[in-house]
Amino acid sequence: MSSYPLRLPDHVLEEARRAAAEDNVSLNQLLSSLIADGIGHRRAILTLRQRAQTGDPTAALTVLDKVPPATPDRGDELV
């Protein structure tokens, strides 16, 4: 395992300390977990962007054309 000196604004560090205490974990464990989650989300987004570039917009619209018309749920209407 490696270490890295991380500089955080005071308010961010205080919020992280609070969150770690609420979760009953160490600050190090909380930050490691949040960083790992962030990296996972970033990888997922990059993968989706790559897949979107290989997609066929015409084929996607053809699929959407097969969806029967329906009234949107309340609050989902286009404005």
N residues, the chain: 79
Residue 72 C-alpha from the chain's centroid: 26
pLDDT of 45: 98
Q: Quick one: three-class SS letters along 32-64?
A: HHHHHHHHHHHHHHHHHHHHHHHCCHHHHHHHH
Please tell me whether the overall predicted TM-score, pTM, comes out greater than 0.75 for this model: no
pLDDT of 79: 82
What tens-digit pLDDT sequence spans the chain (79 residues)? Answer: 899 999 999 999 999 999 999 999 999 999 999 999 999 999 999 999 999 999 899 998 999 999 999 999 999 998 8
